[in-house]
Structure 1
């Protein structure tokens, strides 16, 4: 049985979002966990933001750095969060990923502002 704490110490999840034609798109992403929610931080002008706006249903599983799935898939619903909740998630990501989060933020800054999604898993 899948438990959210199984994710806590891991670095990458494979996030599956869906195009308008329901075709799945899998993207390896960093994540953090807070209050039994999975948070994914990305940039405004990315495909996953567009797809989640169109369809908030997602699936995720643990994965390698290259996006090879590890373990079982779990479904959930993604919701854009703002304000204090978003800032807490961003700070947790900085703490978890350290200097790499700073580098990633610098490299991706041309893709718009940060966007934070919370994912409530169907456990």
Structure 2
């Protein structure tokens, strides 16, 4: 499965699908970066996807474009909400992968929301 994660880690956007209490899937396009045997996702701390992951860590991932139009295989996995150190690792990985765009987005978010305003997720398959 590592090759699947490498494939997703190289994609510009990945559709991360989380599940509501009633099982309804909710897909969201996100930036991701590879970190060994997991994918790192950076998102807003109080987003619904984070709330859903805390209740149900089951997720699916699929390559997509920036609008969320999915393509390619769907892979099932589990997501974990990361602590402060894990989130710092995610920020570094996103900056490294997305270059100036990622750096500007993260720095602007840090100014606007502070360090606790965004959080990292780790997805394993």
- Superposition deviation, residue 99 in structure 1: 2.5
Residues 1-10 or 78-87, more deviating? 1-10
CA distance in 2, matches of 1:61, 1:41: 16
CA distance in 2, matches of 1:104, 1:24: 27
CA distance in 1, matches of 2:49, 2:104: 20
CA distance in 2, matches of 1:66, 1:12: 9
Aligned length: 121
Answer 1 or 2: which has greater strand percent. Answer: 1
Unmatched 5+ residue regions in structure 1?
Answer: none
The answer as to whether partners of 2:16 and 2:27 remain within 8 angstroms in 1 is yes
Supply the RMSD in Å over aligned alpha carbons: 2.2
Unmatched 5+ residue regions in structure 2?
Answer: none
**1:46: which partner in 2?**
47
Answer 1 or 2: which has greater helix percent. Answer: 2
- Superposition deviation, residue 4 in structure 1: 1.8
**2:14: which partner in 1?**
13
